[in-house]
Amino acid sequence: MIDIALIRNDPDLVRENIRKKFQEKKLPLVDEAIALDQKKRALQQEGDLLRASRNTLSKQIGQLMREKKTEEAEKVKAQVSANAARLAEIEREEPEVSEQLKKVMMSIPNIISPDTPIGRDDSENVERKRFLEPKVPDFEVPYHLDILEKLDGIDIDSARRTSGQGFYYLTGDVARLHSAILSYARDFMIGKGFTYCIPPFMIRSSVVTGVMSFEEMDGMMYKIEGEDLYLIGTSEHSMIGRFMGQTLDESKLPLTLTSYSPCFRKEKGAHGIEERGIYRIHQFEKQEMIVICKPEDSCMWYERMWNYTVELFVSMGIPVRQLECCSGDLADLKFRSCDVEAWSPRQKKYFEVGSCSNLTDAQARRLGIRYKTEKGSEFAHTLNNTVVAPPRMLIAFLENHLRADGSVEIPEVLWPYMGGTKEISVQ
């Protein structure tokens, strides 16, 4: 949510930002926000004047009564009654107008970074950098489900019977590899100075609407029937919500946190063949990183965070690239975002394995996250980034470390987390 002062002072900038995101249908929201803001401020001003006049008129009545000017006193009493009735109307109307304004403001997208490329959708995202040389082996790389099945590491048929489409069982050394990668990612981030957290896996609607747009909420979140609780789609939601309504100590910023959680997503819509298998699923696990910082530091942290993900993947011998998200691919709360994509030797192309976002103060405004300053308080900036998210990570890992005989090599950094196991063999 952007600052209402920006719409008051520079509505054309806000309109141009909406156009850059190809959301022309939202242009009328700017005029709606201006009108509602003016109405809200007028009601506040009128209410303040009526409250201020209440004491003055009361004193005037007392003086008139002492002077035996009963008729004049009755007229002032009538004015007091009329003012009280109007004030009651204002106090009923003002919260309604404020709520309408908030709803409109929450639908207006955050101002995007000047560095964001302009484009309609993810097909116009821009590659910035590559890390490690992508390679294609001299043997055919099977589909990832075939690799997993030959390793006796997955059971999808049973998961369909117990849970439906979009679920799976991981077994044996593959399940151990899955946990090893998450544990390695946890310790990797702790080594970068981040504090490890395990958050609640369910959050209230007030947190959901604070961390994401209405469109994202509808497409992602599972609601618990009969309760004001949602399953988290990523631990970022719960982690940012932790600071809702708080004013933080400036000396303790930045807060650098890394969190583990299962994640639950509807994944609405149809997807192509490369998104079957375990690429898009309803339940997975993830290691996340979250930063809450002062505004002047958020761009620096954005660069640092996505580079941590690159460093992690490179340490496991997986080629990756950084892809800058274009304006039309940015969710409404994002100032800037990039994807980290891993190389797929089978597809001979890159695919997304993580995403880093700077949301400036958009989430903080919605959730009321501030920090103390010498002059009072300011809204903090929030950032989030995927450290690693199996099973997509597993797909990249298996394809890049597959041998011709079907076995999978384990890189040295994971040996301690695999009990010294250096390869997974075909069963």
pLDDT given at position 279: 82
CATH of the domain at 181: 3.30.930.10
Angle (nearest 5°) at CA 198 between 192 and 200: 145
Q: In the predicted model, is pLDDT for residue 4 greater than 90?
A: yes
Is the domain of 89 the same as that of 186?
no
Domain boundary among 54, 75, 105: 105
Q: CB-based contacts of 46: which residues, under 8 Å, 6+ apart?
A: 86, 90
| Confidence bin at 270 (pLDDT 50/70/90) | very low
pLDDT cut 90: percent of the chain above it: 81
Is the domain of 84 the same as that of 223?
no
Is the domain of 42 the same as that of 178?
no
**Is residue 111 domain-resident?**
no
Query: Which tens digits make up the pLDDT trace of 139-171?
Result: 999 999 999 999 999 999 999 999 988 899 999
The C-alpha atoms of residue 190 and residue 188 are separated, in whole angstroms, by 6
The C-alpha atoms of residue 199 and residue 227 are separated, in whole angstroms, by 19
Residue type, 417: Y
**Is residue 378 domain-resident?**
yes
Mean of pLDDT values over 349-362? 96
C-beta neighbour count of 133 within 10 angstroms: 7
Is the domain of 34 the same as that of 173?
no
Q: In the predicted model, is pLDDT for residue 272 greater than 50?
A: no
Mean of pLDDT values over 353-376? 95
The predicted model scores a pTM of: 0.90
Is the domain of 84 the same as that of 21?
yes
pLDDT given at position 268: 56
**Is residue 288 domain-resident?**
yes
CATH of the domain at 40: 1.10.287.40
Residues 1 and 106: beta-carbon distance below 8 Å = yes
The C-alpha atoms of residue 278 and residue 30 are separated, in whole angstroms, by 42
C-beta neighbour count of 317 within 10 angstroms: 14
Domain boundary among 43, 72, 105: 105
Is the domain of 186 the same as that of 294?
yes
Q: In the predicted model, is pLDDT for residue 219 greater than 50?
A: yes
C-beta neighbour count of 158 within 10 angstroms: 12
Determine the angle formed by the axes of helices 70-105 and 28-66, rounding to 10 degrees. 160
**Is residue 408 domain-resident?**
yes
The C-alpha atoms of residue 117 and residue 130 are separated, in whole angstroms, by 18
The C-alpha atoms of residue 195 and residue 193 are separated, in whole angstroms, by 7
Q: In the predicted model, is pLDDT for residue 196 greater than 80?
A: yes
pLDDT given at position 273: 42
Query: Which tens digits make up the pLDDT trace of 112-140?
Result: 999 999 999 999 999 999 999 999 999 99
Which range is least confidently modeled, 7-21, 112-126, 260-274, 315-329? 260-274
pLDDT given at position 178: 96
pLDDT given at position 240: 96
pLDDT cut 70: percent of the chain above it: 98
The C-alpha atoms of residue 9 and residue 27 are separated, in whole angstroms, by 16
- Outline where DSSP puts E strands in 84-145: 126-131
pLDDT given at position 375: 87
Length of the chain: 427
Q: How many domains does the chain have?
A: 2
Query: Which tens digits make up the pLDDT trace of 55-95?
Result: 778 777 777 777 878 888 888 788 888 888 999 999 999 99
Q: Closest Cα partner for 388 from 280, 304, 310?
A: 310
Which is more confidently placed, 273 or 10? Answer: 10
Q: In the predicted model, is pLDDT for residue 274 greater than 70?
A: no
Q: Closest Cα partner for 409 from 396, 393, 424?
A: 424
Is the domain of 164 the same as that of 248?
yes
**Is residue 40 domain-resident?**
yes
The C-alpha atoms of residue 58 and residue 117 are separated, in whole angstroms, by 63
Domain boundary among 41, 74, 105: 105
Is the domain of 30 the same as that of 160?
no
**Is residue 315 domain-resident?**
yes
Range of the domain at 73: 4-105
Q: In the predicted model, is pLDDT for residue 300 greater than 90?
A: yes
pLDDT given at position 177: 97
Give one DSSP letter per residue of 146-210, joined into a string: HHHHHTT-EEHHHHHHHT-TT--EE-HHHHHHHHHHHHHHHHHHHHTTPEEE---SEE-HHHHHH
Is the domain of 150 the same as that of 90?
no
Is the domain of 254 the same as that of 359?
yes
Q: In the predicted model, is pLDDT for residue 275 greater than 80?
A: no
**Is residue 117 domain-resident?**
no
Q: CB-based contacts of 264: which residues, under 8 Å, 6+ apart?
A: 222, 231, 232, 233, 282, 283
Query: Which residue, chain included where needed, has tokens 């009601």?
Result: 43
pLDDT given at position 126: 97
**Is residue 215 domain-resident?**
yes
Is the domain of 316 the same as that of 233?
yes
The C-alpha atoms of residue 77 and residue 62 are separated, in whole angstroms, by 10
Reading the block at residue 55, the tokens are 């004491």
pLDDT given at position 58: 74
pLDDT given at position 19: 97
Is the domain of 70 the same as that of 215?
no
Mean of pLDDT values over 248-275? 81
